[in-house]
Amino acid sequence: MEILFWGSTDDVTGSMTFLKTKEGTILIDCGLAQGSSDVEKINLIPLPTKPSEIKAVVITHAHLDHSGYLPRLVKKGFKGKIYCTPPTAKLMRIILLDSAKLNEDGFYEEEDVIHTLQLIETHEWGKKFEVTGLTVSFMPAAHILGASSVLINYNEKKIIFSGDLGRFDDPILPPLCPSPPADYIIMESTYGGKQRSGHIEEELHHFLTTIAKDSRVGIIASFAVARAQTLLTLIYEFYKRHPEEKVRVVMDSPMMKEANKVYQQYAHLTNCKKEIFEALNNIDAIEYQKEWESLKRKSGPLIILSSSGMVTGGRISRHLLNWCDDKSAILYLPGYQGLGTPGRSLLEGNRVLTGPDGKTFQWSGEVWSSEAFSSHADQKELIEWATKNNQKGHYFLLHGETAAKIALKKELQNAGPSEVIIPTRGTTFEIN
């Protein structure tokens, strides 16, 4: 068998790795490159295998950088099966349909998404299934609802693809469990050079009490899937304990609304079945234009939760434009901000943003950020996940900025693995 590394070799998006066996080629994840200025160029790079010759795709989780290329693959001739867990299938539908509306120049359309969804076959965690002579199973990865690592058995060799790994102390998901014993470990490295700092509840509570105490407007930039549901649940629980601090919280994102329904449906897979169901049942959401017209004339205290999480698009831009001259307003960025994104630029001190009309404007308010909310494992957690049951083996680091991969490689080598490789696009590796 040959592993051909393709996506997420140079950054943290566009996950895509090919496995070639005598029975055919399968793809582990099929994501879009996102964030940087040359993503359109990257996403148009021809694949090393014709889509019509790919037998199957295995998806670790629903995020666009792991599933967003699927409709393009189908548009170009893929007709095989797409395997994932049931929650991933539900969330993927929401994410891909939204992506189709945003794509330009016919990259793919809604029709391609519909055809893609018809190819999905779901499997529960721990249930083995056969793909081109490989025995495959999903195991929980604790990143978002339904997120999985992929364990593959081939000729008495075990290969694991980490997917995106979550944390040991996620507020709403069960903790990450270490990798099972494996001969080849292909793993993410988003926070390969960092230990997570901060405390989720303390930092969120400080933000909530500041908005209430000082009657300010707070705009939270959130990913529509996973981050939003975590935030809404934690905010609900805080106000339940501290009703005197409660202010109006408005959600402005159709995707969040749809994702909320999936989280409620699969609340039994979370740590807080009752709380998450109640929290997502009590949402003040903008549905119509007249509600937006009314909201934009409001002053604080007020909290708005909108997407996207890196301020790359979505409805958040209209809120930032509306309150751009309010020096007391707070833009809160609770999560990773990718290279080349407006969110990263804001963290670096830039205050010029692009509004819904394409014109630039100056953000005069404050910018708060937090690394505590990350749903990615930090360096210590990555090392424990990888090495607790694997003191020897071949490690391949993907899905991270260069510095993060180099730092993680050093720590893994210190922990004892026999080989740690940082592949580039097109790197191949033979497994006998």
Q: What is the pLDDT of residues 204-251, one digit of tens each?
A: 999 999 999 999 999 999 999 999 999 999 999 999 999 999 999 999
Q: Tell me the HSE value of 16 on the side-chain side, using a 13 A CA sphere.
A: 28
Rounded Cα distance between 286 and 298, Å, is 14
**Contact present, 366 and 329 (Cβ < 8 Å):** yes
| Mean pLDDT of all residues in 394-416 | 94
Nearest to 426 by CA among 4, 30, 29, 54: 4
| Coil, helix or strand at residue 227 | helix
Identify the pLDDT of residue 160. Answer: 98
**Contact present, 420 and 392 (Cβ < 8 Å):** no
**Contact present, 279 and 236 (Cβ < 8 Å):** yes
Identify the pLDDT of residue 131. Answer: 97
Nearest to 237 by CA among 170, 282, 295: 282
| Coil, helix or strand at residue 48 | coil
Provide the β-strand partners of residue 352.
362
Neighbouring CB atoms inside 10 A of 195's CB total: 10
Identify the pLDDT of residue 311. Answer: 94
Question: Which residues touch 414 (CB under 8 Å, ≥6 apart)?
Answer: none
Rounded Cα distance between 297 and 294, Å, is 6
Rounded Cα distance between 110 and 131, Å, is 28
Q: Residue 12's pLDDT band (boundaries 50, 70, 90)? A: confident
- Tell me: pLDDT of 103 over 90: no
| Coil, helix or strand at residue 237 | helix
Neighbouring CB atoms inside 10 A of 211's CB total: 23
405 burial level (CB within 10 Å; 0-12, 13-18, 19+): buried
| Mean pLDDT of all residues in 35-54 | 90
Considering the entire predicted model, what is its pTM? 0.94
Q: Residue 355's pLDDT band (boundaries 50, 70, 90)? A: very high
Determine the straight-line distance between the first and last CA of the chain, rounded to whole angstroms. Answer: 6
| Coil, helix or strand at residue 34 | coil
Q: What are phi and psi of 412, to 5 degrees?
A: -65, -40
Rounded Cα distance between 115 and 77, Å, is 11
pLDDT above 90: percentage of residues in the chain: 87
Identify the pLDDT of residue 37. Answer: 64
Rounded Cα distance between 205 and 306, Å, is 19
Identify the pLDDT of residue 107. Answer: 96
| 335 vs 239, residue with greater confidence | 239
Neighbouring CB atoms inside 10 A of 111's CB total: 12
Identify the pLDDT of residue 206. Answer: 98
Catalogue all structural domains in the chain, each as residue range(s) with its CATH number. 2-194+375-430 (3.60.15.10), 200-369 (3.40.50.10890)
- The angle at the Cα of 230, spanning 228 to 236, to the nearest 5 degrees, equals 100
Rounded Cα distance between 300 and 320, Å, is 14
Rounded Cα distance between 156 and 1, Å, is 12
Pairing of strands 352-354, 360-362: antiparallel
**H or E segment and range at residue 207:** helix 200-214
**H or E segment and range at residue 231:** helix 227-241
- Tell me: pLDDT of 262 over 70: yes
DSSP string for 58-99: E-S--SHHHHTTHHHHHHTT--SEEEE-HHHHHHHHHHHHHH
pLDDT above 70: percentage of residues in the chain: 100
Question: Which residues touch 339 (CB under 8 Å, ≥6 apart)?
Answer: 11, 35, 36, 401
Query: pLDDT of 169-185, one tens digit each?
Result: 999 999 999 999 999 99
Neighbouring CB atoms inside 10 A of 101's CB total: 9
**Contact present, 36 and 71 (Cβ < 8 Å):** no
Rounded to the nearest 10 degrees, what angle do helices 110-117 and 86-102 cross at? 170
The DSSP secondary-structure symbol of 11 reads: S
